[in-house]
Structure 1
Amino acid sequence: MTDKPLVNKRGQTEQEYLRTYDASQFERPSVTVDMLIFTVVDEQEENYRKLSPKSLQILLVKRGEHPFLGQWALPGGFVSPRESLEDAAKRELFTETNIQNIYLEQLYTWGDVGRDPRMRVISTSYMALVDSSTLSLQAGDDADEAEWFRIEDKWLKETKTATENGTVTEKWLELRLVNAKEELSATIKITKTIANRIVQEKREIVDAGNIAFDHAKLIQYALERLRGKIEYTDIAFALMPELFTLSELQQVYEVILGKELLAAAFRRKVADKVLETNQYRKHAGHRPSKYYRFNPEWMEQS
């Protein structure tokens, strides 16, 4: 006995419904992708006895077309109807910066109505932590320049108000992006509402500075997520050479987290993620330090 196909209230099978479906009855927004590419680099250190200080940096492109002509933005662009989001992200990153063959992790989807002055645009953002010394930047497509910017963030103030069902906490944060040629600054407000044990969080840009679209908000959110991921994943090891000292690894953690860590506590924290070797780092002005390597089986041990 053959089962009859299901029909809707108008007596249509799925095939009949799809043949007569009118896609124009709904306004269709455009879809874009934005890439947040982070790296940690060595800064100049005059005292050769110390490890070179490091800084966390993000890749930006200078827009060569309206809107926001001449302002700095995340690499990104529109998704074509015949490609996946991930394929679009890889294509746009390559055409705008010449970067390819890196792992991109989907971060968040942004859908505020007024985020693009041209039209209704929904954007999916991707994040990566890379070793910039292995990359060759070259601006292309509608990007006039592609540059790394050092990231600095600072909490400005915080207020907390009790409500009938919970609390409303408002925080203001300054985001600064700096390189040898330019300094960008934006102010972001984060509102966290707790009502009847339901938590909601909203981000809004108070002052975008010279950062295009709502990308200051995307950068702040990605930085927050990156700091969370470094605590429970092996993402930091994407920046490390095959052999490294624990002091070098600790510096990478500190620059991403934006705070100093106690050496003993840090070593306990990463103990399962590293393997001790019999080799030592020997360098003028430094005491010999033992080399370690990443333990690819650390997840199985935890």
Structure 2
Amino acid sequence: MTSHKYLICVVGPTAIGKTAAAIALARHYHTEIISADSRQFYREMSIGTAKPTDDEQAQAVHHFVNSHSVNELFNVGDFEAQGLSKLEEIFSDHGIAIMAGGSGLYVNAITKGFDDLPKIDVAVREELNALFTQQGISALQQELSIADPGYYAQVDVNNPQRLIRALEVYRSTGKPFSSYRTGNSKPRPFKTIMIGLELPREHLYERINHRVDLMMQAGLLEEVRWLLPDRHLNALNTVGYTELFDHLDGHTDLTTTVELIKQNTRRFAKRQLTWFKRDRDTKWFAPTDVPAIIQYIDNAIRHPNA
């Protein structure tokens, strides 16, 4: 069809159906999938991250699912390097690759490149994780607002991972995180086609609530209890896990905790949509409208300058 290599990115909020759509596309184009979901990397986090099931992974080859341990340091810069290396392998045999995920920063790392950041001392990260555990997110917010007010005005201040990432750069270098962010896209040896999935908000929220109920039935509380010794790790500072850690500490009853998980997941989905809607090159579809998605992709490849 063309000599160019194409990366098809399937993005959208949590619970929208990215996995099913990505598998359908991978099977149609006889190719493989890279996960750009920053929680699905970790082997120890299974139920609460809605990873592709064994049956789904048997339908198409997935990369960066269960690829790392929560005890490993693995940031967006590492993902950029390893993801591009894996894409090079895929493109050696295929003209098209699929990437699916809801972590906008990780999607951008592959498609546009991530700014070169300094190496971080592990001790600094551990100090910040300890600060978050002992004093809560407000301590991170306060420090970042003083250290880097420019980035503080842009970042999701309720995301501890983003705050810790910025503060570890500041504490390690004495320079604000924002000073390392150029915003310039890096050249890539492939073309990117962005596919967004969306539903009416009420429908999406119903799916989110149902998914949380299924996770609880599948044993999410037991998974979180097993992870208690690792609760200080950055990977576990995420919705579904932090609420249940609080429950196990005796701060909330289980019914309230489940409702909090649903509420925080809905808020997370709203932030994801806000992030992805900023990219005007993304074409939006209903998650089940795979024929229309394929038609759009084929047309974009046949007429790249249209």
Q: Same fold (TM over 0.5)?
A: no
Higher helix share: 2
Q: Which has the larger radius of gyration?
A: 1
TM range (shorter): under 0.3
Normalising by structure 2, report the TM-score: 0.27
